[in-house]
Amino acid sequence: MIHIKELKSGINIFKALSSEIRIQILDLLVKHHNLNLNDLAQKLNLTNGAITMHIKKLEESGLIHIVTNVGKHGLQKMCHLNEDKLLVELRGKEEDNFYETELRVGHYSNYAAVPTCGLATKDSLIGTFDDPRYFADPSRVDAGIVWLTEGFLEYRVPNYLKPTQSFKELQFMMEIGSEAPGTSENWPSDITFSLNGMKLGTWTCPGDFGDVRGTYNPDWWPQNCNQYGLLKIVRINDEGSFIDGYRIGQLTLPELDLDYKSDLMFRIEVDPESANKKGLTVFGRNFGNYDHDILIRVLYLEE
C-alpha cells in the first residue's frame, strides 16, 4: 500500500494520475497483472513512443515498476503494479507512536502441516514436496514461500514496549493465497487469524493463483506451482478485528490484556473444521508480487 500522509509528498503520484490514458494503463495492469509495452500500445491504440512517455511518468511516481525479460522476440519490458492500494490523508493528524518489524515467512516458532505442503528459498526447494518433516529443517528461516493444505504457521512477534507504554493497535501485512494441487483461480479457502490463542477472524481467499508468473519468483520456480497471492492487512484495535478495513471479528485489543511483558503469538491457520478447507500459501521475499515478508506494525500510547 502507498500511504500519502502529507499532500506535498504525493505530488508526483497526483501528476501521474492526472492523465486518463495513464489511468487506463493502471486499469489494464490490474486486470492482466503485467503487460509489455507493445501490448499496452496495441490495447490503447497508441504509438510506442507515446506509451513510453506515459510509462515513464508512472514509473517515476512509484505506481509501477518495469522488469526486463527475455522473450521470443528479444528483450521485453514488462510493466507491473508496485502496490494495489493507495491511501491519501487529506486531514493532517498527530503522528502515532509505532515500531515496525518484518518476519521471514519461514521464521515461524510453531507449525502443523498436512500435504500438499512444502517450503522453498530463492535458491531451491527445502527437502522435497509434500513431506512435513522438512518444516522443522533449520534452513526454513530462509524460506521465501511456505504452503500447506491443513494446519497452521505461528510467529512470535517482538514486543518492544516499555513499562510506560501500552498497545493501541496491531497490524499484520502479508501476501497470501490458497493451496491447490497445482493452481486454481477458483479454490476458496477459509484462512483464520489469531493472536495468543484468541481468534481474530476468518477470511475466505478466492484462489491459488497461477495464471501469470509471480513478479519476484526465481527462475527455477515451476510454472505449475503457486505464483502469487493477495496482499492483506489484518488489524486489531479497541473497535475489533479487521482485514483491509472490513470487520472479521468482534475481539478487541483490550480483551487480549496485553502489556510490555506479553508474548505476541500470531497464527495463520486452515482449520480442519472449516467449510472451505483448501489450504494456505504465504509469500515472502523473492516470491509472489511483493518484495517483503510479513510486515508488522505496533502502534502504542505513552502514559
- Cell numbers for 283: 509469500
Quick one: fold of 2-88? Answer: Arc Repressor Mutant, subunit A (1.10.10)
For 219, the grid coordinates are 527462475
Measured CA to CA, the distance from residue 34 to residue 247 in angstroms comes to 31
Cβ neighbors of 16 (< 8 A, separation 6 or more) are 22, 57, 58, 60, 61, 63
Assign 60 to helix, strand or coil.
helix
Q: What residue segments make up the domains of the chain, in order of their start?
A: 2-88, 97-302
Q: Do residues 60 and 15 make contact, with C-beta atoms less than 8 angstroms apart?
A: no
Amino acid sitting at position 169? E
Q: How many CB atoms lie within 10 A of CB 291?
A: 16
Contact 114, 245 (CB under 8 A): no
**Per-residue model confidence (pLDDT) at position 107:** 97
Q: What is the DSSP string of 26-58?
A: HHHHHHHSEEEHHHHHHHHT--HHHHHHHHHHH
Q: What is the pLDDT along the chain (303 residues), one digit of tens a residue?
A: 677 766 656 777 888 899 999 999 999 998 888 899 999 999 999 998 899 999 988 988 889 888 877 766 677 888 988 877 787 766 545 557 999 999 999 999 999 999 999 999 999 999 999 999 999 999 999 999 999 999 999 999 999 999 999 999 999 999 999 999 999 989 999 999 999 999 999 999 999 999 889 999 999 999 999 999 999 999 999 999 999 888 999 999 999 999 999 999 999 999 888 899 999 999 999 999 998 999 999 999 998
> Which single residue is written with the C-alpha cell 513510453?
52
Amino acid residing at 113: A
Task: Give the Cβ contact number of residue 219 at 10 Å.
Answer: 6
How far is residue 52's CA from residue 30's CA, in Å, rounded to a whole number?
19
Q: Grid cell 523473492 — which residue? A: 286
Q: What is the fold, at CATH topology level, of the domain defined by 97-302?
A: Jelly Rolls (2.60.120)
The secondary structure of 150-211, three-state, reads: EEEEEEECCCCCCCCEEEEEEEEEEEEECCCCCCECCCCEEEEEEECCEEEEEEEECCEECC
Q: CA–CA separation, 65 vs 2, rounded Å?
A: 14
pTM of the model: 0.73
Q: Which of 229, 214, 283, 228 is nearest to 69 (CA)?
A: 214
**Residue written as grid cell 483490550:** 254
SS3 241: strand
CB 240 within 8 A of CB 265: no
